[in-house]
Amino acid sequence: MNITFLGTSSGVPTLTRNVSSLALKLSQTAEVWLFDCGEGTQHQIMKSNIKSSQIKKIFITHMHGDHIYGLPGLLATLGLSGNSNGIEIYGPSELKSFVTSALQNSFCKLAFPLHFVEVEDFAAFNKILFENEKLEVQCGCLKHRLPAYGYRVSEKDKPGIFDIKKAEDLNIPAGPIYSELQAGKTVKLKDGRSFNGKDFCGPPRKGKSFVYCTDTVFSESAVDLSKNADLLVHESTFSKEDEKMAYEKLHSTTIMAAKTALLSNAKKLIITHFSPRYTQKSSIKPSDLLKEAQKIFPNTFLAKDFLTLEIK
């Protein structure tokens, strides 16, 4: 899996940062999953290495405009291009009426189906939001001025590394049989010999996990959702000096984000969703935000628009 930041500003766009959006590209397929879709997201996609035609799922954290205003436009563009076979949209229960109303009132008819999934019950009762043979998605309640939800994408454990030399030494013919053995299956050859795939594979490889938390003040549910994550992307709207404002607006400071990573035993933290008040010309710069977080959680990095990295 790898991620691309499409927007890292909070509230309003700036000259260097668009509002919230992040693309997750799955290594197992050609699919792209979008997390939030602020105004201008489709322009950001066009400037990135992401193909909009590969978007299959969209996860929305909450109903504030800087996280959803780009969604109707993106869907309309996908409809005009004719490259989509359908999209699943996950988010608060109000999301469906917002999207359908925007499309209907602008006389936009999509040539592909939209499937909406309301996440409230999944978050409240800790139920799996989506699952297939390779991936699992969970969501959790965050703490904001209106209902907000964080998302966790976890790869399921992968088979151990296949010992090709051992198979070759036993004169097992290459091809589909190797795939079956790597999957741990027992295969029987035409010559009557039988082999157990587990004898050819090393220990299972732990799947990677990614967590996306915005918007929220510090919350235990975010810590729970982020337990042992390989990568935590967490909002850091405010500096520690503006902690009072963070509590008033129910956003996180750099310290809150770092504390979440520390308590959850996450491997890496990337902070994002920065207030436009912090610029290279202000008394508190983005680099200062990074230093604040690193004092609590050293393996912290600063998000910027179009930053792309592999989840390791």
Catalytic pick among 36, 66, 230, 305: 66
Residue 21: exposed, middle, or buried by beta-carbon count in 10 A (0-12, 13-18, 19+)?
Answer: buried
Nearest to 144 by CA among 68, 92, 247, 216: 216
66 labelled catalytic: yes
- Distance linking the first and last C-alpha atoms of the chain: 8
Q: Which residues participate in catalysis according to the annotation? A: 66
